[in-house]
Structure 1
Amino acid sequence: MTDAIATVADYMQTDLVTLTADMEIIRAVTVLLDAGVSGACVLDDEGNLVGVLSKRDCLRAALNAAYYKEWGGSVADLMSTELETLEADLDLVSAAQRFVDSSFRRFPVLNEGRLVGQISRTDVLRALSKQWR
């Protein structure tokens, strides 16, 4: 065992489901459900992170669809654009503090401004539980 504290990059998920802002919301819902994920990063044509769409956002669309009897709109209409991210080189203790201070269950991970992964509360807790065994 080493005394070096691991970083976000050591434990982040890199096989990500991503969406585009112009994708129809019903298609995005299907993508999330088929992949078994609770949300996805939204990228523009150049691969820049422009938003995050969660199942909670999708539930808003579902409620609207129940009322109007049809799905409508795009990912851009419902995605969150005020983003909180973590840097890939952030140590796990600092990442854990960010989770404690936030209501988010996962954060997009950036390296030099580019999306490189995603890390969840579970990822950080699992990593820290291994750190000092």
Structure 2
Amino acid sequence: MVKSFQGVRVVEPKKTDAPIMVKDHMSTNLVTFYPEDSIDHVLDMLTKRKISGAPVINHDKKLVGIISEVDCLKEIIKGKYSNTPSFPGKVEEHMTKDVITLSPEMSLFDAAQKFLELKIRRFPVLKDGQLVGQISLSDIIRAFPKLRETTW
């Protein structure tokens, strides 16, 4: 019988190099709208896709705004007063035009800070002026439990 005199070996837990960048946690398969789309269409799509807002792009695929459920409420209220069951208003009439965007290279921690500071539910993500994705508050929340094992 051979005995080892090396002692007990301690195996270090492997650290995962989980990415903590916006680009690794953003949504890329986006629903987008055009400024001339009707609010009826937006409400239909938001309901079907179970989302609360989406980027608005022009025909050159450039970001021109963002539309949310809250923006759509303006048209719904207008419809209530005029007693119309449809909402023919256009996206461009109700969308937010001054959109704050994030970079795909931004750290998830910096993005989380932006969510806290600005109290916004989603940010379009632009790279070289092109819309490449969107990150939501939910995306941030879902990412952090997966990062427990990483070096903060």
Normalising to structure 1: TM-score of the pair? 0.93
2:18 and 2:147 in contact (8 A); partners too: no
Task: Quote the residue 2:31 is aligned against.
Answer: 17
Q: Deviations over 1:20-64 (max 9, x none)?
A: 001112122111111111001100010000000000111111111
SS of equivalent residue, structure 2 residue 60: coil
Larger CA Rg, structure 1 vs 2: 2
Task: Quote the residue 1:132 is aligned against.
Answer: 148
Task: Quote the residue 1:8 is aligned against.
Answer: 22
Going from structure 1 to structure 2, the CA distance change for 1:28 and 1:129 (only over 3 Å counts) comes to: same
2:56 and 2:63 in contact (8 A); partners too: yes
Segments of 5+ residues of structure 2 without an aligned counterpart are 1-14
SS of equivalent residue, structure 2 residue 33: strand
Task: Quote the residue 1:73 is aligned against.
Answer: 89
State whether structure 2 residue 40 is matched by structure 1 residue 46: no
Where in structure 2 are the equivalents of 1:110-125 lying within 5 Å? 110-125=126-141
Q: What RMSD, in angstroms, separates the aligned Cα atoms of the two structures?
A: 1.4
Letter in 1 for 2:144: L
- Alignment: residue pair count: 133
More helix by share: 1
Kindly state the Cα deviation for residue 3 of structure 1 after the two structures are TM-superposed. 5.5
Letter in 1 for 2:51: V
1:28 to 24, 42, 53: 42
Letter in 2 for 1:37: I
Greater mean alpha carbon deviation, residues 119-128 or residues 99-108: 119-128
**1 CA distance for matches of 2:31 and 2:148?**
32
State whether structure 2 residue 42 is matched by structure 1 residue 37: no
More strand by share: 1
Letter in 2 for 1:80: T
Segments of 5+ residues of structure 1 without an aligned counterpart are none
Task: Quote the residue 1:107 is aligned against.
Answer: 123
Normalising to structure 2: TM-score of the pair? 0.82
Q: Which runs of 4+ in 1 moved over 3 A?
A: 2-5
Q: Deviations over 1:66-106 (max 9, x none)?
A: 11122332000000001111101111111111111111011
